[in-house]
């Protein structure tokens, strides 16, 4: 049963009661609590109980209810009416909330600065447009996993939410180019040649008939933009970069229609860009990665997982990035030991490297990487045949309990001290091999840490 009892320290009552985490405040705390944070899932927390508490918390400034999925519009309406100082609200995964509750929030002109509505699947365009038009102080807005969100509401965000620093729109299946600023000189679609047979007529939808979004201002404050799995093309990326020229984190993973032309546009971000996520953008090539690495020297995190056209040449360029901390090359099948050796020699600040399912790699190149990259704290090599070598599995993190038997057998993830332990093991193996060669003794790999040859 969900209770609102918690041990109290009377000496620090005033300080501690400003924030309450993963429980409801007691009756004594409710009049003074300012930050209520319920992230841990509580199935026994009913909407009735939550609504009663909200009524007695007039000083709330921030509220996180992602751990209270039974929250309904009634609680949101009561919150809007009573918490007049509310500047932050997280209703992620509160699937019972609808436009009714969100429209009440906007009607009360609350001083909201951040609003997270991820996975609130019933929300539609009117409530999102109302947020954009009325919440003029918004700095962070997260609208991921909203199946009913269309370009119409997102256009209002670009038009009215001038102070946004963070905008997340991941996994919104209806979003297309129409949701984003048009490039300044968009070329008309190519005409049909005289000798080509015209395509049969296809009825257009109202979304397709929307005119291009022409903005007369720049979104200078935007720093983080997440468009994971949105159906955008190179034109949308071009328009975004022109109108938001200071983006630092750009997430385009799963935007499968993008090509090298998008990366050419992204190059305009220059020194501002430090995180670029392009997983599953499989049409990009080495040439575009060259341009990105040379135009955006401050990059510290790059994800090109599942980009099947990339080769060692792309990794050579990425290895030259002085600030590179995290690199994902999962299922980039064409890379070889040469790429890993380049990272070992040049990417001296590398902390996290993902090489899973890169099946051309050997343990020798990984050993060189481990010896050279002393900052490395996380290495994934699941599905790499060389890591089936006996003894190596001892240093891997345990696989997730939900994984199948085959997945558990292939799992190779090394973090923290396990990275150092793997390095020490391979150092001893190398020493044994040298001793064996010096004494003309056949070398036999073993899974223990002893240095003796027999």
Q: What is the pLDDT of residues 45-99, one digit of tens each?
A: 888 989 999 999 999 999 999 999 999 999 999 999 999 999 999 999 999 999 9
Mean pLDDT to the nearest integer, 311-326: 97
Short-list 333, 307, 302, CA closest to 318: 302
Q: What is the pLDDT of residues 341-353, one digit of tens each?
A: 999 999 999 999 9
Dihedral sign (CA 268, 274, 280, 286) = positive
Angle, alpha carbons 19-23-26 (nearest 5°): 75
Q: What pLDDT, on the 0 to 100 scale, is given for residue 197?
A: 59
Q: What pLDDT, on the 0 to 100 scale, is given for residue 13?
A: 43
Q: Supply the pTM of this predicted model.
A: 0.89
Q: What pLDDT, on the 0 to 100 scale, is given for residue 212?
A: 86
In the chain, % of residues over pLDDT 90: 73
In the chain, % of residues over pLDDT 70: 91
Q: DSSP character for 98? A: -
SS3 172: coil
Higher pLDDT, 450 or 350: 350
Report whether CATH 3.80.10 matches the domain 311-454.
yes
**Any idea of the CA torsion for 96, 100, 103, 109, to the nearest 10 degrees?**
-90
Determine which of 148-162, 327-341, 395-409 has the lowest per-residue pLDDT on average.
395-409
CB 301 within 8 A of CB 325: yes
Domain residue ranges in the chain: 311-454
Q: Per this entry, what is the length of the chain?
A: 454
Question: φ and ψ at 261, to 5 degrees?
Answer: -65, -35
> Using alpha carbons only, how large is the chain's radius of gyration in Å?
27
Mean pLDDT to the nearest integer, 125-149: 97
d(CA 454, CA 442): 10
């Amino acid at each position: 049963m969900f209770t609102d009892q918690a041990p109290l320290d009377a000496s620090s009552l005033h300080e501690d009661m400003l924030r309450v985490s993963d429980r409801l405040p007691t009756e004594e705390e409710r009049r003074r609590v300012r930050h209520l944070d319920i992230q841990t899932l509580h199935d026994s927390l009913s909407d009735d109980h939550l609504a009663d508490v909200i009524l007695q918390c007039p000083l709330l400034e921030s509220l996180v209810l992602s751990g209270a999925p039974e929250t309904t519009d009634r609680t949101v309406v009561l919150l809007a009416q009573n918490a007049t100082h509310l500047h932050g609200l997280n209703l992620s995964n509160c699937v019972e909330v609808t436009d009714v509750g969100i429209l009440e929030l906007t009607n009360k002109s609350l001083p909201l600065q951040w609003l997270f509505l991820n996975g609130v699947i019933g929300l539609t365009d009117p409530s999102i447009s109302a947020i954009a038009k009325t919440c003029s102080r918004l700095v962070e807005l997260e609208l991921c996993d909203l199946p009913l969100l269309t370009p119409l509401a997102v256009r209002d965000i670009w038009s009215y939410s001038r102070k946004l620093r963070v905008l997340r729109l991941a996994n919104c299946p209806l979003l297309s180019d129409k949701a984003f600023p048009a490039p300044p000189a968009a070329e008309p679609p190519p005409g049909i040649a005289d000798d080509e047979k015209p395509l049969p007529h296809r009825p257009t939808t109202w979304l397709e008939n929307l005119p291009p979004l022409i903005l007369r201002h720049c979104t200078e404050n935007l720093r983080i933009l997440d468009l994971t799995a949105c159906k955008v093309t190179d034109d949308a990326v071009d328009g975004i970069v022109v109108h938001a020229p200071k983006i630092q984190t750009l997430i385009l993973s799963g935007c499968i229609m993008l090509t090298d032309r998008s990366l050419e546009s992204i190059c305009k971000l220059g020194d501002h860009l430090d995180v670029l996520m392009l997983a599953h953008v499989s049409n990009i090539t080495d040439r575009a990665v060259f341009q990105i690495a040379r135009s955006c020297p401050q990059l510290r995190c790059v994800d090109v997982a599942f980009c099947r056209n990339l080769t060692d040449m792309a990794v050579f360029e990425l290895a030259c990035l002085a600030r590179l901390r995290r690199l994902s090359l999962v299922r980039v099948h064409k890379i070889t030991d040469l790429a890993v050796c380049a990272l070992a020699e040049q990417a001296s600040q590398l902390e996290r490297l993902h090489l899973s399912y890169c099946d051309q790699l050997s343990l020798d190149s990984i050993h060189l990487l481990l010896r050279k990259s002393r900052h490395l704290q996380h290495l994934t090599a699941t599905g790499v045949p060389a890591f089936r070598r006996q003894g190596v599995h001892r240093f891997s993190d345990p696989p997730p309990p939900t994984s199948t038997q085959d997945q558990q057998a292939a799992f190779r993830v090394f973090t923290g001290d396990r990275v150092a332990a793997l390095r020490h093991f391979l150092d001893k193996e190398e020493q044994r091999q040298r001793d064996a060669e010096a004494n003309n003794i056949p070398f036999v790999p073993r899974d223990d840490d002893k240095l003796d040859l027999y």
